[in-house]
């Protein structure tokens, strides 16, 4: 028996809950948790004129977080060598 995907409610599915695309979204939610919802709200839900600013904010935050993580990792590595 064929059903509709539980998330998009458009694609036909068989023996699963999600279509291929929605399975990918589910995977990202499992990996990143609430961050997925934050990104979707900030990037997609705002008006089109503000859309690029939202994307830049998200990317800038990602860069800042990764930079802090790398700096922390380097400091921990240096401290282990002492
Ligand atoms: Zn789907």
CA of 78 to the centre of ligand 1 (A): 47
Give the global pTM: 0.56
* 72: number of Cβ within 10 Å: 10
CA of 21 to the centre of ligand 1 (A): 6
What are the residue ranges spanned by the domains of the chain?
3-81
Report residue 3: phi and psi, to 5°. Answer: -120, 175
CA of 54 to the centre of ligand 1 (A): 25
Task: Give ion ligand 1 contacts, CB < 5 A.
Answer: 5, 7-8, 11, 19, 22
Distances (CA, A) of 61 to 15, 20, 21, 47: 39, 29, 26, 20
Average pLDDT by consecutive 10-residue portion of the chain (82 residues)? 93 94 96 92 74 73 86 84 74
pLDDT at position 67 is 87
């Amino acid at each position: 028996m064929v059903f509709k995907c539980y998330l998009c409610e458009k694609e036909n599915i068989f023996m699963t809950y999600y279509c291929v695309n929605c399975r990918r979204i589910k995977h990202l939610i499992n990996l990143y948790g609430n961050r997925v919802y934050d990104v979707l709200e900030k990037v997609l839900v705002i008006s089109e004129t503000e859309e690029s600013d939202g994307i830049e904010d998200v990317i800038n935050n990602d860069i800042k977080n990764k930079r802090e993580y790398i700096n922390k990792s380097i400091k921990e590595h240096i401290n282990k060598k002492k």
